[in-house]
Structure 1
Amino acid sequence: MKSLYRLLPLLSHQHFTSGQLLAGELQVTRPTVSNWVAELVAQGVDVYSVKGRGYRLAEPISLLDRDRVLALLSKEVTRRLSVLDIRTDVDSTNAWVLAQPPAPGRWSVCTADFQHQGRGRRGRAWQSPPASSVMVSAAVRESLTGDALYAASLVVGVAVVRAIRQVAKVSVALKWPNDIYCDGRKLGGVLCELQGNPLDQPVLVVGIGLNVNASPPGLDRDIGCLRELAGEFIDRNDLLAALLNELQCVLADLGQAGGLATLLQEWASYDCLLNRSVTLVQGEQQQIVVARGIDAQGQLIIDDERGQRRTVNGGEVSVLW
């Protein structure tokens, strides 16, 4: 754990705590406390600093609590867990669970209050202020078909929508293939990776990142968070447990006859691109197309610039909201 994150549970949004008291509690010098506060502020944590009074959080934060999360998990999820590691900070939750692959039928789960090297699609950096988002990765080994593995990011998106509706009480949409949106603002996304042979019960790593109580600073596009939509502070423990519970539900559905088709139909009901003109980027090429939903495999259906209908199984789409 990086030392400065030891400050987070000692800071209150209700009263000031002196630098001297913090230094004594952490067994460091007062200048060290000052430097750590400055670094937290640079990372997006809003901290008031008043000479003679000390430090106070401008807003409450929701630190992850392992016991609370375990109490909220369903019996099925608890039974499957081989590892539930809730960390103060980590380089990458996906990388952590990939390094600890579970046995068949079991899960390895890692989440953290802060992620140093979070990744989105195509290797892009994904980072939010400490203790403001949900960043969780679950490595699972389930008996899934090749079609189910191919459509994993879409299926997980369904679980994310369900969990958000349950905890934040807001309706969100999905943008092919793996983004979570609401009113033209991106709230987060899903990153799935496979380790092993798809024909031999590989490890599927499901990574979910959601802006919960704050948005990442300094981005040049429309980004939102669930707190803004819900109009109230959200407990990240509640949302984390709901995400894992809903993930188990959709994976169980995938094991049933017709389960994939049913989940993709549900995904289609959340599709925010349907019948919209979008920019499709594939490698160095890009073109304006019209999105027409998804097919039975989860591929994007488009009408291209010549009016011809075809499917797309890779690439990136963007739209002017």
Structure 2
Amino acid sequence: MKSLFRLLPLLRHDQFQSGTALADSLGVTRPTVAAWVTQMRELGVDIHVVKGRGYRLAEPISLLDRERIFAGLSASLRSVLHVLDIQTDLDSTNRWVMEQKPAPGQWSICAAEYQYQGRGRRGRVWRSPPASNLMVSIALRADLPSRALYAASLVAGVATVRALRSQLSVPVALKWPNDLYIEDAKLGGILCELQGNPQDHPVLAIGLGLNVSCKPDGLDQPAVALADVVPGSLDRNTLLIAIVNQLYDVFVQVQTDRGVNELLEEWGQYDCIRNRTVRLLRAQRTETVVARGVDDAGQLVVESADGERFSVNGGEVSVRW
């Protein structure tokens, strides 16, 4: 697969390139180039193929640039950085960053142009065409309160909303516990995983999948990409830098209980289901309730038809409207 991705940086959107020229640049045969183009198209990259002229991208593609991303990180984040890596293709960025085993206080960051075993909550598969959306994970080992660990997806959601609103002025909102929305369409999701003893500097991995240029296939709900609502071109490097810097800031903030309280309060400002009637899916039962925000632990507070209020956690339920 990695050999296949050698082709992508050579393709242009403003002119055709012959199979012979591409083959010479890559040190392969013309049939190999043709096969790679076919595979890229099957993965979702829009490539025009014209006999006698060659190959051309339908739209420009901006690849992730490690040096540019590193330069854009805050000085504080660079000082604790264990590793920053950009992969052409990877099964899971969350798996990769957890395997780097950052020391206490350190951060590992990985982004991929294509992720072929990306996961959401409850093991759902998340895939998108190469070099089109944002798939990034961080792993950190920090002395965080238990509340911060268990509310990590909410905290990461606040960071992502801050970054997107400041960079693009788009009304991104949050749906408990880990989804990013614009109006009633899903923009992305966050997957948090904990490795180790919560009382002894566990590794916390935070994975973000964000629809930038297009919507992934196979979703069972309305979806939106930033390109649908933001005019002009979008720079994934700029977005990644802004999001990761905000993630660093919020996870410094939640090292105290006061910081956790502040972040949960801010999360409430972006809550897109508060006071809405939603369906609560628990085990084999579906219950209609009204969402009433989150409690001090980051659990969803709901109100039943008879007026009873109770809290549920992300491991128990799925919320739909």
The interval holding the TM-score normalised by the smaller chain is over 0.9
Structure 2: gaps of 5 or more residues? none
Partner of 1:180: 180
Report 1:122-161 matches (<5 A). Answer: 122-161=122-161
Report 1:259-278 matches (<5 A). Answer: 259-278=259-278
Partner of 2:57: 57
Partner of 1:225: 225
Q: Aligned partner of 1:166: which letter?
A: S
> Alpha carbons of 1:195 and 1:218: their partners in 2 closer, same or farther (altered >3 Å)?
closer
Partner of 2:97: 97
| 3-state secondary structure, aligned to 1:280 | strand
* 1:257 CA drift (Å): 4.9
* 1:227 CA drift (Å): 1.6
Q: Aligned partner of 2:318: which letter?
A: E
Q: Is the 8 A contact 1:83 1:109 kept in 2?
A: yes
Aligned partner (choices 275, 300, 318) of residue 316 of structure 1: 318
Cα distance in 1 for residues equivalent to 2:50 and 2:92 = 35
Per-residue CA distance 1:50-76 (angstroms, 9 max, x = gap): 111111111111201011101111001
Q: Aligned partner of 2:181: which letter?
A: Y
Cα distance in 1 for residues equivalent to 2:83 and 2:218 = 34
Q: Is the 8 A contact 1:299 1:313 kept in 2?
A: yes
| 3-state secondary structure, aligned to 1:258 | helix
User: Is 1:207 aligned to 2:207, yes or no?
Assistant: yes
Q: Is the 8 A contact 2:127 2:217 kept in 1?
A: no
Q: Is the 8 A contact 1:299 1:312 kept in 2?
A: yes
Report 1:26-65 matches (<5 A). Answer: 26-65=26-65
> Alpha carbons of 1:257 and 1:285: their partners in 2 closer, same or farther (altered >3 Å)?
closer
* 1:199 CA drift (Å): 0.9
Q: Aligned partner of 2:42: which letter?
A: A
Cα distance in 2 for residues equivalent to 1:42 and 1:219 = 18
Q: Aligned partner of 2:148: which letter?
A: A
Q: Aligned partner of 1:316: which letter?
A: S
| 3-state secondary structure, aligned to 2:7 | helix
Q: Is the 8 A contact 2:215 2:224 kept in 1?
A: yes
* 1:281 CA drift (Å): 0.9
| 3-state secondary structure, aligned to 1:17 | coil
* 1:220 CA drift (Å): 4.3
Partner of 1:306: 306
Cα distance in 2 for residues equivalent to 1:257 and 1:150 = 13
Cα distance in 2 for residues equivalent to 1:47 and 1:8 = 10
| 3-state secondary structure, aligned to 1:76 | helix
Cα distance in 2 for residues equivalent to 1:13 and 1:62 = 11
Q: Is the 8 A contact 1:282 1:316 kept in 2?
A: yes
* 1:206 CA drift (Å): 0.8
* 1:305 CA drift (Å): 3.4
Count of matched residue pairs:
319
Q: Aligned partner of 1:99: which letter?
A: E
Partner of 2:19: 19
Q: Is the 8 A contact 2:145 2:256 kept in 1?
A: no
Cα distance in 2 for residues equivalent to 1:21 and 1:173 = 47
User: Is 1:73 aligned to 2:50, yes or no?
Assistant: no
Q: Is the 8 A contact 1:287 1:305 kept in 2?
A: no
Structure 1: gaps of 5 or more residues? none
* 1:29 CA drift (Å): 2.0
| 3-state secondary structure, aligned to 2:214 | coil
Report 1:287-298 matches (<5 A). Answer: 287-298=287-298
Question: RMSD in angstroms over aligned alpha carbons?
Answer: 1.2
